[in-house]
Amino acid sequence: MIVSKFGGTSVGSYEAMSRSANIIVDNPKRNWVVISATSGTTNHLLRLSSLPLNTDEGNGLLDQISRRHLDIASQCSFKKEAIKAVEECMRNLSAHLSKQQTSKDHSETQWVDTLLAFGEILSTQLFAWVLREKELNVQLKWAGDFICTDSRFGLAAVNLEVTYAKLQQFLTANEGFVSYQKPGNVLLTQGFIGADVQGRTTTLGRGGSDFSAALFAEALGAECLEIWTDVAGVYTTDPRVVSTAHAIDEISFDEAAELSIFGGKVLHPAMVKPVRRANIPVRVASSMEPELPGTNIVTNPLNRPVVRTLSVRKEQTLMTLHSLEMLHQPGFLAKVFSILSEHRISVDLVTTSEVSVSLTLDTAHKASNKVELSEAVLRALNDFCDVEVEYNLALVAVIGNALNQTLGISGQLFSTLKEYNIRLVSHGASANNVCFLVEESDAEAVVQTLHQSFIG
């Protein structure tokens, strides 16, 4: 069995859905299908969640969501059924909006998760009809019936034991439905969505559909997990920055994990763990050009270059703390980190000297979890050290193999970057990456220079 996940652009229009459906038809092993909301819909719903009822903007967004999905429905052979499904979803969505929660407590985040889930509900409802149009026998299942989570709405943690038990139960009860012996049967479900023990809808964090798909692949013992997206695999770097960047044939789980963390937008960071654990190869490919080989993520790639890929994360903040107290004082760093953790600030890179420590923080405007360096944090830190904050930096990650054990690589990297001011370096902790913090305005040139010297 192959678990196939289609991202938002791969189901973003009728043509895209139809192309993705053809991919499923092409291989009868592709019988467990996980999809995202249509591209942009989760952003629209998230914006809606922050607007009061009945604003022009809110009504405009609802209208856009409705028209987008009705447009897909109206091109489907099962037009009547598909339109009816969209209309019903839109009615439920409006009803949910009118129950808007305003308090900043648990019930509000719970309400937002239920709202966001409409994106995946709409896309799966429609995709089911597009698959039926291709004469596939589709069973559409609510992901919350499988993916069991805690109640941290917005970023719920999955209970693997319960989730895997539920999936096993389903397989036993539906014996043969999703097996190779029954070509044409397809189980379709939502990515990103789970439910807590009380059955309340939760979400796994933005981009979480990859993670859902990886969990399904592990639990079902899939022979492969496919991530269908709008690019032809994992690239050596962003082709918009370096025109000679190209798709990589094969990459290890370790490299893919680093890449997903350091800005490669193709994969969600949490997805690597389940597939690596279960040793399930992953194929990343483009649903627009499915004949291209894409990238295989495997445990042991044949080729392990020292430098495989480069990625950039912008909007980085560097915080430097100085204190003479740091000298031979146990507990100084513990104090710093406990203050940051109290304010839910997550630190990426750290370098220390005798009397100072520098930390990088990701302040990028991701739709949610933006790091805020509030007055309160700065005051708490200022109490026992001097704090300096620099903005507009970028983190360039060099990802590859044995970077901490390859003679001369540091020298080569530094001499390649001799024209640039490097604010901070992180090297040695990981075999798979070396990170440089540079001015945001230098980031693209740094990547171009490195790509030319190390990848070509």
Q: Which chain residues interact with ligand ASP by CB under 6 A? A: 8, 36-37, 42, 119, 191-192, 206-209
Residues 370, 394: Cα–Cα separation, whole Å: 16
> Packing angle between helix 79-98 and helix 56-75, nearest 10 degrees?
160
Nearer to ligand ASP, 111 or 436 (CB): 111
Interaction mask 2-31, Mg ion, x per CB under 5 A: -----x------------------------
Q: Which does 69 bind (CB under 5 to 8 A by kind): ligand ASP, Mg ion, none?
A: none
**Strand order across the beta sheet in which 137-141 lies:** 137-141, 185-190, 30-35, 2-6, 224-229, 282-286, 295-298, 250-252
Minimum gap (Å) between residue 36 Cβ and Mg ion: 7
- The answer to whether the CB of 158 falls within 8 A of the CB of 216 is no
Q: Is the Cα torsion angle 202, 208, 211, 213 positive or negative in sign?
A: positive
- DSSP secondary structure letter of residue 455: I
* Exposure of 71 in the CB half-sphere (CA atoms within 13 A): 13
Instruction: Name the closest residue to Mg ion (Cβ).
Output: 207
CB of 230 to ligand ASP, least distance (A): 12
User: Rounded to whole angstroms, how far apart are CA atoms 220 and 189?
Assistant: 14
Cβ 319 to ligand ASP, closest distance in Å?
28
Q: How far is the CB of 206 from Mg ion (least distance, A)?
A: 8
3-state secondary structure of 345: coil
For Mg ion, which is the closer residue by CB, 127 or 454?
Answer: 127
Smaller CB distance to ligand ASP: residue 163 or 358? 163
Closest CB 85 distance from ligand ASP, rounded Å: 18
Q: Is the Cβ of residue 206 or residue 308 nearer to ligand ASP in the bound state?
A: 206
Binding partner of 12, given Mg ion, ligand ASP, none, CB within 5-8 angstroms per partner class: none
Piece of the chain touching Mg ion by CB under 5 A; list 15-23, 206-214, 384-392, 433-441: 206-214
Residue 37 or 242: the one with the smaller Cβ distance to ligand ASP is 37
The answer to whether residues 262 and 311 touch, using CB atoms and an 8 Å cutoff, is yes
Q: Are 13 and 235 in contact (CB under 8 A)?
A: no
Q: Which does 219 bind (CB under 5 to 8 A by kind): ligand ASP, Mg ion, none?
A: none
User: With CB under 5 A as the contact rule, which of the stretches 96-104, 199-207, 218-226, 426-434 interacts with Mg ion?
Assistant: 199-207
Quick check: 230 and 288 in contact, CB under 8 A? yes
The Cα 233–Cα 349 span in angstroms is 28
Secondary structure percentages of the chain, helix, strand, coil, to 5: 40, 25, 35
Q: How far is the CB of 8 from ligand ASP (least distance, A)?
A: 5
Q: Across the strands, what pairs with 436?
A: 396, 425
Q: What is the size of the binding site for Mg ion (CB under 5 A)? A: 2
Nearer to Mg ion, 76 or 267 (CB): 267
DSSP letter (8 states) at residue 441: G
Q: How many CA atoms lie within 13 A of 120 on its CB side?
A: 33
Binding segment for Mg ion (CB under 5 A), chosen from 74-82, 200-208, 426-434, 444-452, is: 200-208
Output 19 or 268, the one with its CB closest to ligand ASP: 268
Alpha-carbon gap, residue 386 to 323, rounded angstroms? 6
Least spacing, CB of residue 202 vs ligand ASP, in Å: 13
Distance CA 175, CA 294 (A): 33
With CB cut-offs between 5 and 8 Å by kind, which of ligand ASP, Mg ion, none does residue 358 bind? none
List Cβ neighbours of 182 (8 Å cut-off, separation of 6 or more).
Answer: 31, 176
Please identify, using beta-carbon distances, which residue of 241 and 261 lies nearer to ligand ASP: 261
**Interacting residue with Mg ion among 12, 119, 207, 274 (CB under 5 A):** 207
From Mg ion, ligand ASP, none, interface partner of 28 (C-beta below 5 to 8 A by class): none
Distance from the Cα of residue 160 to its chain's centroid? 19
* Min dist. Cβ of residue 146 to Mg ion (A): 20
Least Å from the CB of residue 288 to ligand ASP? 17
Nearer to ligand ASP, 284 or 396 (CB): 284
**Least distance to Mg ion from the beta carbon of 351, Å?**
31
Question: What is the amino acid identity at position 289?
Answer: E
Angle between helices 375-382 and 332-342 (to 10 degrees): 160
Task: Sort residue 328 into left (φ over 0), alpha (ψ -120 to 50) or beta.
Answer: left
Minimum distance of Mg ion from residue 230's CB (angstroms): 10
263 binds Mg ion (CB under 5 A): no
Beta-strand pair 282-286/137-141: unpaired
CB closer to Mg ion out of 28 and 207: 207
Binding mask 45-84 for Mg ion (x = CB under 5 A): ----------------------------------------
**Considering CB distances under 5 to 8 angstroms, the limit depending on partner class, which of Mg ion, ligand ASP, none binds residue 8?**
ligand ASP
Q: Determine the Cα–Cα distance for residues 7 and 45; give it in Å rounded to an integer.
A: 17
What is the bridge-based pairing of β-strands 185-190 and 137-141?
parallel
Q: Which residues bind Mg ion (CB under 5 A)?
A: 7, 207
